[in-house]
A and B are shown apart, each in its own frame.
Chain A
Amino acid sequence: MVNDAGQLYTMEGVAAGLIMLLTAYIVVSTTSVYTAGDTHIPDMQLEQLGSDVLAMMDTPDAAGGESRLVEFVNENKGPEFKNAFLNYCNATTSGTLDNLHMSANVTYRDDDAIKEHQFVEPDETWTGRESAVRVTRWVQLDYQSSRTHYDKTRAQAVLVEVLLWRV
């Protein structure tokens, strides 16, 4: 390199190389679709909210007592469960209430079969395309002959699953 001649040739070469690289990059990146990072954060918060509400409902008022969640499941009080759950979920510190909707089912074991019982039916806002989150809670039921669902003859653990979505 003894003089300044040919700089524009170099630049044109670099520019042409860049155009080719950019084309290859665009072609390769069209195969994947990225969503923005904060899309999933509301889901995350919704899941935590639902878990916390279930944990709260599963806590008895006094030590050794029976929690409301156990009572609802034992006596198959679906509508009452729905009201209490949505009451807690939709509460806000000020202003209008949140607009959350839910459905729930209870999974239990009957000998070797795992069965599901629809506990709370989804309301009219359910279309199947909601970005719903699923929250679950284990509930242990004591032996109780007055129980209408699940296995009456023994104490058992059942899984309450709640689908929660915002409209």
Chain B
Amino acid sequence: MARMNEDGQWIVLMGLLVALGLFFLALIINQSALVGQTTAEGVLEFPKNDIRDLREAVFDYVDAYEKHDSDPSKIRNDIVAISLERKNAVVYFENETPRDVSGRMLHPVTIHYNNGVTDYDETTYY
């Protein structure tokens, strides 16, 4: 190499530059697989369906609270205890007496959800 034949050095130098460029392009393609993976994992780990399901359960609970003479606080204990056991989520919710919201009587409902990664708090009227 060096000192043996020093013709065409510019060609070799440009060749090296092109090779370097290709190397970095390959590196970028390699990383693109990772981007797709973390996105899919992020969607899987985000408890969207858990939270939606909990909200509907809470609204059912409010319905039961209005309709039944049985003690609905036991239903709340069910949801709190089973959430902790089966979903690793700390959950709490409560409803207050109905108040007038734009002419309709609605329950203020507060919902808290925390599974250690995702924290969700909501106050809504139902």
Which residues of A are at the interface with B, using a C-beta cutoff of 8 A? 4-9, 11-12, 14-15, 18, 34-41, 43-44, 47-48, 51, 55, 58, 107-109, 114, 135-138, 140, 142-143, 154-159, 161
Contacts and interface: CB of A to CB of B under 8 A. Distances in A.
Given A12-B2, A154-B70, A4 B9 contact: yes
Interface in B18-70: 20, 23, 32-41, 43-44, 49-50, 53-54, 56-57, 60-61, 64, 68, 70
A109 B78 contact: yes
15 contacts: A5-B6, A7-B6, A8-B1, A37-B33, A37-B36, A37-B40, A41-B40, A47-B44, A108-B82, A109-B81, A140-B75, A142-B68, A154-B70, A155-B70, A157-B79
A5 B123 CA distance: 75
Contacts of B16: 11, 14-15
B117 interface: no
B89 to A, nearest CB: 11
A38 B37 CA distance: 7
A39 B79 CA distance: 33
Contact of B49 (A12, A135, A155): A135
B37 A40 contact: yes
Contact of B40 (A39, A109, A135): A39
Contact of B74 (A7, A36, A40, A156): A156
A30 to B, nearest CB: 14
If over half of B's interface residues share one DSSP class (helix, strand or loop), that class is named, otherwise mixed; here it is helix
Contacts of B1: 8, 12
B40 A38 contact: yes
B33 A36 contact: yes
B37 A35 contact: yes
A6 B75 CA distance: 83
Contacts of A34: 33-34, 37
Nearest to B31: A34
Given A12-B1, A37-B34, 5 more contacts: A8-B2, A43-B44, A109-B78, A138-B54, A140-B64
A40 B44 contact: yes
Contacts of A157: 57, 60-61, 75, 78-79, 82
A132 to B, nearest CB: 13
A137 B56 CA distance: 9
